[in-house]
Structure 1
């Protein structure tokens, strides 16, 4: 069993070394202006089931240099999913989005809903969960201090801080579940068809409601056979053929 583990580890290390070499070769091709060849190298790494923000970012840059609208937007978005705070990715994505044809106005969140959503999105669900665990731990610790302490002032302080810790823990749990719910509703995709006719129902004979072009980002609401129900940033809804889009959450 130990021998098998060692062999698997050796293969794994060999694969990492090989992908690093291919990545460096792709970067060299990119720097030489051989963008198509660089894309082939980057994609060969993806074929080995390796994913990283840096890989997607470089792949997006190479496609952008060739004016490949949909792939450049798609790979910048993939890079942003893996590294959501990277300003360079955001800036390059904005440049790529400027190449798209469709101008879709985003419907902004307003009022209390906007405040809650912004607050929930300040942290990841895992971070909210960690805060909840820390809050519970502090609550238990201070509750014990309150129970065994003799001094009135110390008991009062321990009681107040323990209640505050419990409140923070409960709030964090609620925020964690809310974050998970919001993330579950997100199923973004990029239109890859040069022009796609979006229908009112999932069949080719139904009424056309609007058209979309390559590089446009949509949210997939549901799937029926080879059709996807999508929603745009302006809340427009329609059905698009599955072959015309690529899901961003697929890794």
Structure 2
């Protein structure tokens, strides 16, 4: 059994080292203007099962240099899912979207609940879990300080801080679960066809509701056979053939 564990560990380390080398080669190819080569090497890493925000970000940059609109937006969005607070990723998505034909005006969804959702979406679920662990560690430290402190005033201060830390820890745990729920209930896709018809029912007999073009982002609401019901940022809904989209 130990031999199997050691073998798996060795293979994992070898694969990681190999991917690190491939990543550096891809970055060098990108720096030299060999964008197709860089894309091939980045995709090779993805095919091995390894993914990261930096990998998707660089892949998006390579596609952007080749004017691959849908591919660049898709990979930027994948990068943003892994690092929601990265300003470079957000800026590059804006640049790429400026190349898109469809100008979808987002519906204003202001309010307390939307502000909370935006706060929760600032970090990934794993990041919120890490923050919760930090708050729990701080709670333990301040509670120990309260326990061993002799001066009454300092005891009250440390006790109050420890209570705040534990409350923040529980809140971070809640945010982690809420972030997972948001991800599960909000599935998105990118239009990959140059032009795609959106119909008012999941059938070729359905009337055309509107046209979408390459690079547009849509929320996935429902699947039915080879059709997907989508919703745009402006609230418009319709059915599109699965062949025209790629899910994030």
Q: TM-score, normalised by structure 1?
A: 0.79
After superposition, give the CA deviation of every residue in 1:32-61 in whole Å (9 maximum; x if it has no partner). 111112111111111111101111111111
Structure 2: distance between partners of 1:227 and 1:37: 34
- For residue 202 of structure 2, give the secondary structure of its aligned residue in structure 1: coil
- The corresponding residue for 1:188 is 188
Choose 76-85 or 62-71, whichever is displaced more.
76-85
- The corresponding residue for 2:146 is none
- The corresponding residue for 1:146 is none
After superposition, give the CA deviation of every residue in 1:96-120 in whole Å (9 maximum; x if it has no partner). 1111110000001123433443454
- The corresponding residue for 2:90 is 90
Structure 2: distance between partners of 1:10 and 1:176: 32
The answer to whether residue 41 in structure 2 is matched with residue 4 in structure 1 is no
- The corresponding residue for 1:223 is 223
- For residue 201 of structure 1, give the secondary structure of its aligned residue in structure 2: coil
Q: Closer, same or farther in 2 for the Cα pair 1:205/1:8, shift >3 Å?
A: same
Q: Closer, same or farther in 2 for the Cα pair 1:12/1:181, shift >3 Å?
A: closer
Structure 2: distance between partners of 1:243 and 1:106: 25
- C-alpha displacement of 1:132: 7.8
Q: Unaligned stretches of 5+ in structure 2?
A: 140-152
- The corresponding residue for 1:61 is 61
Matches within 5 A, 1:203-242: 203-242=203-242
- For residue 229 of structure 1, give the secondary structure of its aligned residue in structure 2: strand
Q: Closer, same or farther in 2 for the Cα pair 1:18/1:162, shift >3 Å?
A: closer
- C-alpha displacement of 1:167: 7.3
Q: TM-score, normalised by structure 2?
A: 0.80
Structure 2: distance between partners of 1:247 and 1:65: 22
Structure 2: distance between partners of 1:122 and 1:36: 33
Let me know the Cα RMSD of the aligned residues: 3.4
Larger radius of gyration, structure 1 or 2?
A: 1
